[in-house]
């Protein structure tokens, strides 16, 4: 019995921001809205720049409280950043889970 490794250069696994990740960001907002900690959100996408912003507000008339930025930094690489009003960038990672954990801990502190 022998094992052969097949190299297919045309195969590239799916990379980028997924629908499930977006649903997790939105679910976090919905939990905070139910607890009346956050009352408004905005989603901005710039396909030309490879940039998306998911912004959380305490109310529509206030400055953004938290912002989750998804930035395409390479052909297969995404960067996730979390900004907090008054502090600036509090998290930056190439791994969605790390940035999401920091975002959710900041929102949990509002409860």
**What average pLDDT does the chain have?**
87
Asked if residue 54 is part of any domain, the answer here is: yes
How far is residue 81 from each of residues 1, 5, 6, 104, measured CA to CA in Å?
48, 37, 37, 13
How far is the first Cα of the chain from the last one, in angstroms, to the nearest whole number?
A: 60
pLDDT by residue (tens digit) across 63-111? Answer: 999 999 999 988 888 999 999 999 999 999 999 999 999 999 999 998 8
pLDDT of residue 19: 85
> In which domain, by residue range, is 101 found?
41-108
Asked if residue 17 is part of any domain, the answer here is: no
Asked if residue 28 is part of any domain, the answer here is: no
Asked if residue 15 is part of any domain, the answer here is: no
Question: Where residue 50 falls among pLDDT bands split at 50, 70, 90?
Answer: confident
Asked if residue 10 is part of any domain, the answer here is: no
C-alpha–C-alpha distance, residues 90 and 66, integer Å: 10
Asked if residue 23 is part of any domain, the answer here is: no
Q: In this model, does residue 49 exceed pLDDT 90? A: no
Model pTM greater than 0.85? no
**Contacts of 57 by beta carbon, 8 Å cutoff, 6+ apart:** 38, 39, 40, 41, 42, 63, 64, 65
Asked if residue 97 is part of any domain, the answer here is: yes
> Phi-psi bin for 74: left (phi > 0), alpha (psi -120 to 50), beta?
beta
- Considering 3-7, 10-14, 43-47, 59-63, the range whose residues carry the highest mean pLDDT is 43-47
Asked if residue 1 is part of any domain, the answer here is: no
Q: How many domains does the chain have?
A: 1
């Amino acid at each position: 019995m022998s094992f052969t490794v097949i190299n297919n250069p045309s195969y590239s696994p799916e990379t980028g921001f997924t629908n499930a990740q977006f649903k997790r960001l939105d679910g976090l907002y919905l939990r905070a809205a139910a607890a009346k900690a956050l009352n408004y959100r905005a989603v901005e996408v710039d396909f030309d720049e490879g940039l998306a912003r998911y912004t959380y507000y305490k109310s529509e008339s206030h400055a953004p409280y938290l912002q989750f930025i998804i930035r395409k930094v390479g052909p297969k690489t995404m960067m996730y950043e979390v900004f907090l009003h008054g502090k600036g960038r509090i998290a930056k990672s190439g791994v969605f889970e790390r940035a999401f954990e920091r975002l959710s801990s900041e929102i949990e502190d509002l409860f």
